[in-house]
Amino acid sequence: MDVRQLVESKARAAREAAHALALCGTRVKDEALAHMARALEEKTAALLEANRADLERARTRGLTRAFLDRLTLSEARIEEMANGLRQIAALPDPVGTVRSRGGGPTASRSPACACPSASSPSSTSRGPTSPPTRPVSA
């Protein structure tokens, strides 16, 4: 399997996991985010080692300094990523909440709702989505 096929298969798997996770309850999503944060911290050494190899390949290919800077990981950057995941977990779950209501004569009478997409592979293969995990405002 070449690099392109590997990246494409990982991207497909991530997309499928995201669709499945969107249908989970808040607690499951928050636990998944906390697990990802812990995994980043536990695997920091391995991530930094792999990043050094990525940087070396990028340098030999003549990529720009700006690109190399964006590619470069450090312990601080990995900690920021982990903290960002924890901050997301601390936010209210938007799924099932009313975001806005339309206004004016041509607006839809139904409110916009933050819901998993009904056309996502996981929701169509599992049937209808479960009810919202948080109360919906009227």
pLDDT score for 5: 94
Domain tally for the chain?
1
CATH of the domain at 54: 3.40.605.10
pTM for this model (two decimals): 0.66
The reply to whether 132 falls in a domain is no
Query: How confident is the model over 24-45, as pLDDT tens digits?
Result: 999 999 999 999 999 999 999 9
The percentage of residues in the chain with a pLDDT greater than 70, rounded to a whole number, is 72
Task: Return the exposure string of 86-115: e unless at least 16 CB atoms fall within 10 Å of the residue's CB, then b.
Answer: eeebeeebebbbeeeeeeeeeeeeeeeeee
Domain with 122, as residue range(s), is 3-126
